[in-house]
Amino acid sequence: MGFLSPWFLAGLAALGIPIFVHLLRRHVVTPRPVSSLMFFERGTQSSTRHRRLRYILLFALRFCLLLLIVLAFANPFLRLKANDTHGGLLLIILDHSFSMRSGTRFLDAKQQALKLLASRPRSQRAQVLALGGQVEALTEATQDEELLRSALQGIQPGDGRGSFGDVGRTIRALAEKESGPIDLHLFSDLQKTAMPANFADVVLPPQARLMLHDAAKTSASPNWTVESVTAPAELTDPKNATTSRVQAVVAGFATPETEKTVSLIINGKVAARHEVKVPEKGRAMVEFAPLDIGYGFNRCEVRIDGDDALSADNASLFVVRRSDPQKVLFIHRSSDERSAVYFEAALNAASHGAFVLQSITTEQVANLDPEKFAFTVISDVTSLPSVFEHALEQYLAKGGSVLMALGLDAGRQARIPLWSGELQKSRNVSFAEEASTVSQVDFTYPGLEQISPGRDNGGWATAKFFYAVRVDPSHARVAARLSDGTPLLLEKQIGEGRLLLFASGFENLTNDLPLHPIFVAFIDRMSRYLSGSEQLSGARIVDSFVQLRTATNPSGRVTSSEIVDPDGHRPLSLLEAQRAQTFRLSRAGFYQIHFANGRNAVIGMNPDRRESDLELMTPEVQALWTGNNTGQPETEKKTAQGAKYQYRGLWWYVMLLALIVALVETSLSSRYLGTQREEL
Amino acid sequence: MQRFLDPTLLASISSLDLIAKTVVDGLVAGLHRSPDFGFSQEFAEYRAYVQGDDLRHIDWNLFARTERCYLRRYEGETNSQLMILLDSSNSMQYGSRKPVKADYARYLAASLFYLAIRNQRDAAGIIVFDDEVREYVPPSTRQGQLARLFAALEQAEPRARTDFSKPLAHFQALLHRRGIVIVISDFYEDPEEIVRAMEVLRFRGNDVVLFHVLDPQEIRPELKEPAILVDLESGQKIEVIPEYVTSTYRTKMQAHLEHLQMRTRSAGLEYYLLPTDQPLDMILREYLSLRRAGR
């Protein structure tokens, strides 16, 4: 037994208080004069003994109370001999992140893990976890060695990015259920980039003892990688020099200055090759233009020739889809010519010919089939022929996209076509008054996405809105709001499709948005989002998710989705193909995806390039993680460090005892005082 | 007026003369009656004539109406003698509140002297005693007697212990003429001893009155915790417990008081218990009325 805060034992001096009050003070009684002792006798009655006994009991209780409080503050602990280390849980975490593909790291780590598993006592429970894009528990805590071994054997090198923050979170969650000690063995290359920015994320629970097994051996191996590729996901005119080009950034980690040959490979054939000088631990850009590709999906990669520490990251995959310009249906009132002009100008400026606007009035739409268009724009039209409105509803249910703008005409109508919600009221601000501006913009919304929006609210703050229709935003996602809280851009899922509502017009009467540069960017992103072309090709980071369908039970017939992974396997079961809403793309390579709305996509998946930096975490950080996983009381640290002993804190029990003693003391002393009152 | 007679207030007055004046002036004036019948102006009763009576005292008017001879009898107005025996033992200096017993006794004695000398022209004297006679002022009506008595009271500082038997011989020698003998003491003595000592005075024809002065705390003491008590006379110390004080002591004290009262009454002595929180004038009035009723 010991004390974690022994300096609190100085509080034992307080024990002098009851001793003084009960023992010493009683003897220092000032004699009281009386006229005569004729009628007095010495107190020798039996009640005196009871009283004295009660005094002694009260004294003992008060003494104990103070003693227990001091002891509780001194934080006593009991050092128990650990039954054996077998009583604890052996946790084996094998890192199979992308960087483990470097050299023999993964094999070495797996061998070490298997060796540890073989050397553990039979009676000790163990659990196997895999660290990749996420931490996966491959087994329950078990003593079954075969199960554990097979789980370890089954782990294969992955393409995900490992994060030790995930390890910390997982172990903390596990420790809530596991009361005993946890021996945590992490077999990893201990990449520096795997450490989270906040060290608190990796702090382990007190009963966990971490052992790091470095599989990297060498500290920093030179490694080059194609860090990023900028290429159009969709291309309509290969000869257009503005869009038909690929820009790649080659980065070196712990590398000397060298010349590298970078190739552009399209559909397995080398289309172009460039020499580039990569500075020491630096970056260099390579550009390939024009991009000569055929119609359909073109599987492209930018590859660095030669070998290095991690050859798997020498190529970056992406898909470029070549198609004819897509038609966009723009419906407007015959009296409204401005909106079509502004919209078309912006669309042409942004898409470089990827879209062709077909502008028609409401009187001409009766026999049109909206499914022939990439998406439909309805500008300030509140009354559509019922046949066409029905066709639009069918179009939406199957996965079509409609963008609706509400101009001056919408305020005079009671309902909006396709939009189930009712109009609340229009907001009309005269020119004399101060116009509204866009105050809130959801930059994570795909149609408004900006990585680092400027201080002017991403360019939106300068646009003035004089008129906006206030729409009930229930059941809709509000992507932007005006300064008075009026929802400006709303999206509602209808079947597999999406209906977007812009609460103002596209002309320059209701607002001056078309006159601002942000309008072009807005139309660009919106058109790509509505057409869905961005989802159908391009490149993504491993462990990204794709949305296969918008609703679990879409209206109409149930359509299935399908995925073919880079190895040509179909990872979705039949049931999942009909019900799964999202899918995690966990492998590097080309995925073929058939969405529930009938569209097909081919996407190139690349590992996170932070995995390419093979620099190890410093020994100081390792020591801090393994040895000083503190922020915890001393007792808990000892629990983690002491393998042979288990330290059990006793303060809680001491405090409980102190509480009981306090209650008894209160009861006894109140009875004593009560007796005194009666006597008086 | 009553509030000025509160013993606590009297304790704040330093002059005994003033205290006595305050008390007595607040009292309804009254004369005690002589035990002898005389022939003065105050009619008392008729008595049938017997041979040898002085014919001057026959009520001739009554004889004319009834043809029988009756003598008129009158209250005899004589000058009485007041003698106060004041206990000045150490036990008298006890007091849980002001005034202490000794002071209270002095106030009482001073008031009686004032009453006797100024109002009734009686001769008054004092014997201050503890276990010896400490001070003696013979009874007199001379000029300055009151001042002498007050001086004797002032000098009566408590000392030694009470003993009634030793000064008794002196009492008998000093009390030549019969009168009123007032004994003021706390009577911490066996009642038998007290009565034995005092009834001798009674046998000599004195009216003996015992004023038993006690502090309220002596009658109903309170003790919150065990305490060591010191006897003021003997210096002896004992530890007592609250239970005893609140139960047995009170019983014993009550028994003592009852016993003392019973024995004094049976011996023809007057007995009054005077707690020191009781106003003096009330005691005097009660005493005087009792005296009048008793005769």
Domain positions in chain B = 2-31+79-294, 37-75
Determine, for residues A43 and B243 on separate chains, whether the beta-carbon distance falls below 8 Å: yes
Q: Which two tokens stand for residue B280?
A: 């003096």
Where among A194, A218, A242 does a domain terminate? A218
Q: Which two tokens stand for residue A14?
A: 């307080």
- Residue A642 has a pLDDT of 46
Whether A473 and A385 map to the same domain: the answer is yes
In angstroms, the CA B72 to CA B88 distance is 48
- Work out the minimum CA distance from A672 to partner chain B, whole angstroms: 12
Minimum-distance CB partner of B244 among A38, A43, A680: A43
- Set of chain B residues whose Cβ sits within 8 Å of the Cβ of A35: 91-92, 94, 101, 186, 188, 215, 218, 231-233
- Work out the minimum CA distance from A676 to partner chain B, whole angstroms: 7
- Distance from the first to the final alpha carbon of chain A: 49
A287-314 pLDDT, tens digit per residue, is 988 888 888 899 999 999 888 888 888 8
Q: In a 3-state reduction of DSSP, which class is residue A348?
A: helix
Q: State phi, psi for B245 to the nearest 5 degrees.
A: -65, -40
Q: Exposed, middle or buried by CB within 10 Å (0-12, 13-18, 19+), for A497? A: buried
Q: What is the ipTM of this complex?
A: 0.73
Q: Contact, A399 vs A495, CB < 8 A? A: yes
Largest CA distance in chain B: 81
Q: Which two tokens stand for residue A479?
A: 């992507």
**Torsion, Cα of A206, A207, A211, A212 (10° steps):** -50
Higher pLDDT, B205 or A296: A296
Residue of A nearest to B255 (CA): A39
| Angle value at C-alpha B37, between B34 and B43, nearest 5 degrees | 105
A67-81 pLDDT, tens digit per residue, is 999 988 888 887 766
In angstroms, the CA A285 to CA A132 distance is 30
User: CATH number of the domain that A382 lies in?
Assistant: 3.40.50.880
- Set of chain A residues whose Cβ sits within 8 Å of the Cβ of B131: none
Strands A76-81 and A645-649: antiparallel
Q: Which two tokens stand for residue A201?
A: 């994320």
Higher pLDDT, A662 or A452: A662
Q: Across the strands, what pairs with A247?
A: A230, A287
The answer to whether residue A585 is domain-embedded is no
The answer to whether residue A414 is domain-embedded is yes
Q: Is the dihedral of CA A671, A673, A677, A678 positive or negative?
A: positive
Whether A60 and A10 map to the same domain: the answer is yes
Long-range contacts of A556-559 (CB under 8 A, 24+ apart): A556/A397, A556/A398, A556/A495, A559/A496, A559/A596, A559/A597, A559/A598
Confidence of residue B26 (pLDDT cuts 50, 70, 90): low
- Set of chain B residues whose Cβ sits within 8 Å of the Cβ of A38: 188, 256
Amino acid at A260: K
Q: How far is CA B276 from CA A21, A402, B40, B103, B107, in A?
A: 36, 110, 40, 9, 11
Confidence of residue A330 (pLDDT cuts 50, 70, 90): very high
Mean pLDDT of the A534-545 span: 83
Whether A357 and A492 map to the same domain: the answer is yes
B92-125 pLDDT, tens digit per residue, is 888 888 888 888 888 888 888 887 787 767 788 8
- Contacting B residues, span 26-85, partner chain A, CB-CB under 8 Å: none
Whether A47 and A163 map to the same domain: the answer is no
The answer to whether residue A374 is domain-embedded is yes
- Residue A661 has a pLDDT of 92
The answer to whether residue A513 is domain-embedded is yes
A615-634 pLDDT, tens digit per residue, is 888 888 888 888 754 444 44
Strand extents, DSSP E, B94-218: 123-129, 133-140, 180-185, 207-214
pTM of the model: 0.54
- Residue A300 has a pLDDT of 92
Does the structure show a pLDDT above 90 at A25?
no
Q: Contact, A310 vs A220, CB < 8 A? A: no
Confidence of residue B153 (pLDDT cuts 50, 70, 90): confident
Determine, for residues B243 and A35 on separate chains, whether the beta-carbon distance falls below 8 Å: no
Does the structure show a pLDDT above 70 at A637?
no
User: CATH number of the domain that A164 lies in?
Assistant: 3.40.50.410
Q: Contact, A248 vs A237, CB < 8 A? A: no
Strands B81-87 and B180-185: parallel
Residue of B nearest to A35 (CA): B91
Mean pLDDT of the A205-231 span: 83
Confidence of residue A635 (pLDDT cuts 50, 70, 90): very low
Q: In a 3-state reduction of DSSP, which class is residue A261?
A: strand
Neighbours of A554 (CB within 10 A): 20
Amino acid at A225: T
Does the structure show a pLDDT above 80 at A55?
no
In this prediction, what percent of chain B has a pLDDT beyond 90? 3
Whether A110 and A53 map to the same domain: the answer is no
Whether A337 and A478 map to the same domain: the answer is yes
Mutation target for B interface from A30, A40, A676: give the one with most B CBs within 10 A. Answer: A40
Q: Helix and strand tally (H, E) in chain B?
A: 12, 10
- Mean pLDDT lowest among A96-100, A211-215, B37-41, B87-91: B37-41
Q: Is the peptide bond before B99 cis (omega within 30 degrees of 0)?
A: yes
Whether A523 and A404 map to the same domain: the answer is yes
In angstroms, the CA A500 to CA A525 distance is 13
Nearest to B129 by CA among B77, B66, B216, B198: B198
The answer to whether residue A330 is domain-embedded is yes
Whether A51 and A97 map to the same domain: the answer is no
Whether A460 and A333 map to the same domain: the answer is yes
Q: Where on the phi/psi map is residue B192: left (φ > 0), alpha (ψ -120 to 50), or beta?
A: alpha
In angstroms, the CA A74 to CA A380 distance is 76
Where among A169, A197, A218 does a domain terminate? A218
In angstroms, the CA A255 to CA B23 distance is 120
Residue of B nearest to A31 (CA): B228
Does the structure show a pLDDT above 60 at A638?
no
Within an 8 Å CB–CB cutoff, is residue B248 touching chain A? yes
Q: Contact, A522 vs A481, CB < 8 A? A: no
Nearest to A556 by CA among A411, A398, A335, A393: A398
Whether A348 and A200 map to the same domain: the answer is no
Q: In a 3-state reduction of DSSP, which class is residue B209?
A: strand
Mutation target for A interface from B162, B213, B238: give the one with most A CBs within 10 A. Answer: B238
Length in residues, chain A: 680
Q: How many CB pairs under 8 A join A and B?
A: 88
Determine, for residues B229 and A36 on separate chains, whether the beta-carbon distance falls below 8 Å: no
Q: What is the mean pLDDT of chain A?
A: 82
Determine, for residues B227 and A31 on separate chains, whether the beta-carbon distance falls below 8 Å: yes
Whether A106 and A163 map to the same domain: the answer is yes
The answer to whether residue A276 is domain-embedded is no
- Set of chain A residues whose Cβ sits within 8 Å of the Cβ of B233: 35-36
Helix axes A145-154, A105-119, angle to 10 degrees: 180
Mutation target for B interface from A39, A41, A55, A680: give the one with most B CBs within 10 A. Answer: A39
Confidence of residue A93 (pLDDT cuts 50, 70, 90): very high
Range of the domain at A121: 88-218
Does the structure show a pLDDT above 70 at A36?
yes
- Mean pLDDT lowest among A272-281, A635-644, B21-30: A635-644
- Mean pLDDT lowest among A39-48, A191-200, A247-256, B63-72: A39-48
Q: Which two tokens stand for residue A158?
A: 């992955």
Where among A184, A218, A252 does a domain terminate? A218
Candidate CATH numbers 3.30.505.50, 3.40.50.300, 3.40.50.170, 3.40.50.410; the one for domain B2-31+79-294: 3.40.50.410
Scanning the structure block, which residue is given the tokens 């799964």?
Answer: A580
Q: Contact, A531 vs A355, CB < 8 A? A: yes
Q: Contact, A110 vs A151, CB < 8 A? A: no
Whether A51 and A119 map to the same domain: the answer is no
Determine, for residues B231 and A676 on separate chains, whether the beta-carbon distance falls below 8 Å: no
Determine, for residues A43 and B226 on separate chains, whether the beta-carbon distance falls below 8 Å: yes
**The total number of structural domains that make up chain A:** 3
- Residue B1 has a pLDDT of 34
Q: In a 3-state reduction of DSSP, which class is residue A384?
A: coil
